[in-house]
Structure 1
Amino acid sequence: MKMKFGLVLSVLAFALGLATTSARAADIVGTWRLQSWIEEETESKVVHNVFGEHPLGFITFTADKRVAVIFVDPTRKAPAAPKATDAEATELYRTMVAYAGSYSVEGDKLTNKVEVAWNQAWNGTNQVRFFDLKDDRLTVRTQAFMSPFLNKQIVSTLVFERLK
């Protein structure tokens, strides 16, 4: 009898865990506007506002587990002509982030599986994040990684607001 009861409790706990994970995954579905993005150097603890105080950007999570991201520096300058010069193209590349792929959620762990990215080095990688959701505010924190902007090991914290 104790063994059956233990088995039932185990199955129930597992099912509740799946339900919680599914509920959290369902809770992030939608489009979110970037409110802030900071990178903290892991060694020196110096903090950077990557694209300034008011970065522009969106992240979209779909119900079928797809993700698309674009962030840009609001001070970006348009090229002088339809075809950017090499210097203009370099500056445009360095003032954006864009990628798309699939995602999975396990508790507060969010894994973006990058299929296409502005930075070729990210293609085929898993970008692991941890998130907290309160009402219409989504806070995402990365694991420590090498920043493509600073070339230093950092942890990023991004805050989003749900679009309505």
Structure 2
Amino acid sequence: MENSLVGTWELLSWKNTDQEGIDEYPFGEDAIGYVIYSEDGYMSTSLMTANRPNFDTDDVLGGTIEERARAARTYVTYCGEYEIKDNTVTHHIKASLFPNWVGTNQQRFFEFKDEQLILSTPLIEINGKLQIAYLIWKRASQGK
């Protein structure tokens, strides 16, 4: 069976919807991100707010407590193995900026519509309330 997820996908939109139907864009409507699904069963994703401010230092492990906290609040990343069953992809998290996800399985529902990939979560706690995250992706193209 062909794995239609394989490849690199660029984020078009990340919207969370709460139980009352209220939408929010946690990283703004111009969030930036990629998700990569490899043929050998690994995946990686990175999401961030646009125009994140630089640290006052070029030291990759430096920065003030405030700079590092702001950087962590405006970025989501994780990677691991994945498996597909029907229209569900399960991410088996091996590394994550959010330490609570390491060693967990994160379920995502997927569908394809108008050449876009739509990933959605089950109802999960995001920013202190139960929400469903909807992420819309397009196939990435080089040389933009």
CA drift of 1:53 comes to: 1.1
Larger Rg: 1
Aligned to 1:74: 50
Gaps of 5+ in 1: 1-21
1:108 aligns with one of 87, 92, 95: 87
Q: Deviations over 1:49-86 (max 9, x none)?
A: 11111111100000111000001100311111232100
- Where in structure 2 are there 5+ consecutive unaligned residues? none
Do structure 1's residue 38 and structure 2's residue 15 form an aligned pair?
Answer: yes
Matched, 1:52 2:31: no
Q: How far has the Cα of 1:134 moved from its partner? A: 3.1
- 1:130 corresponds to 2:106: no
Per-residue CA deviation, residues 12-67 of structure 1 (Å, 9 max, x unaligned), is: xxxxxxxxxx33xx11100000000001122x322111111111110000011100
**Which structure shows the higher strand fraction?**
2
1:12 corresponding residue in structure 2: none
Q: CA deviation at 1:135?
A: 5.1
- Count of aligned pairs: 138
With over 3 angstroms needed to count, the CA separation of the structure-2 counterparts of 1:27 and 1:135, relative to structure 1, is farther
1:156 aligns with 133
Distance 2:13 2:114 in 1: 17
TM-score normalized with structure 1 length? 0.80
Structure 1 residues 86, 115: CA separation in 2 closer, same or farther (over 3 Å shift)? same
The separation in 1 between residues aligned to 2:106 and 2:137, in whole angstroms, is 17
Aligned counterparts of 1:110 and 1:45: Cα–Cα separation in 2: 24
Measured at CA, do residues 53 and 73 of structure 1 come closer, stay the same or move farther in structure 2, by a change above 3 Å?
Answer: same
Stretches of 4+ moved more than 2 A in 1?
A: none
- Residue among 120, 135, 142 paired with 1:141: 120
Report the RMSD for the aligned CA atoms in angstroms.
Answer: 1.1
TM-fit CA distance, 1:136: 2.9
Percent of residue pairs bearing the same amino acid type: 27
Return the letter of the residue paired with 1:144.
Answer: L
